[in-house]
């Protein structure tokens, strides 16, 4: 039989050391099955959730910094979209559709222009 408290502490340690971001990744490192961890309600533990959340935030921060420092235009646009205000986002997400002699531009409201 497993010592529930000992396994909980192992889960916490693994999350911190391996920088896990998903609860199910514990199955690679912890001996009891995921079914056992769920049965013990470890997935509902605020302590474990908080550690997973910290790791997710750290990973996001690291990724955003790489995107901002990148020379890759696609990554720069993705980073900009994350930081854009409503007006900037609207300008970035414009859709342009041409159909049967009319040009439709979708901003906040739809505008149609006749083309020659």
Write out the residue range of the structural domain in which residue 24 sits: 4-83
Both 42 and 68 in one domain: the answer is: yes
In terms of DSSP H, where are the helices of 1-116? Answer: 4-18, 34-39, 46-69, 73-83, 86-92
Please tell me the total count of domains within the chain: 2
Both 79 and 102 in one domain: the answer is: no
Both 95 and 79 in one domain: the answer is: no
Digit-coded pLDDT (tens) for 66-116: 988 999 998 888 888 888 888 887 777 765 555 666 655 555 554 544 554
Q: How confident is the model at residue 51 (pLDDT cuts 50, 70, 90)?
A: very high
Both 93 and 75 in one domain: the answer is: no
Please give the mean pLDDT across all residues of the chain. 85
Both 63 and 100 in one domain: the answer is: no
Both 37 and 93 in one domain: the answer is: no
Per DSSP, the three-state class of 18 is helix
The whole-number average pLDDT for the span 44-63 is: 96
| 14, pLDDT greater than 80 | yes
């Amino acid at each position: 039989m497993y010592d529930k408290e000992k396994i909980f502490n192992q889960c916490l340690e693994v999350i911190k050391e391996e920088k896990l971001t998903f609860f199910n990744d514990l199955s690679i490192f912890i001996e009891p099955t995921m079914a056992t961890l769920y049965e013990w309600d470890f997935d509902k533990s605020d302590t474990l959730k908080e550690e997973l959340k910290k790791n997710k935030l750290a990973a996001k921060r690291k990724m955003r910094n790489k995107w901002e420092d990148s020379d890759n235009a696609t990554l720069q646009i993705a980073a900009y979209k994350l930081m854009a205000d409503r007006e900037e986002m609207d300008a970035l997400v414009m859709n342009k559709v041409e159909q049967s002699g009319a040009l439709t531009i979708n901003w906040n409201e739809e505008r149609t222009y006749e083309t020659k």
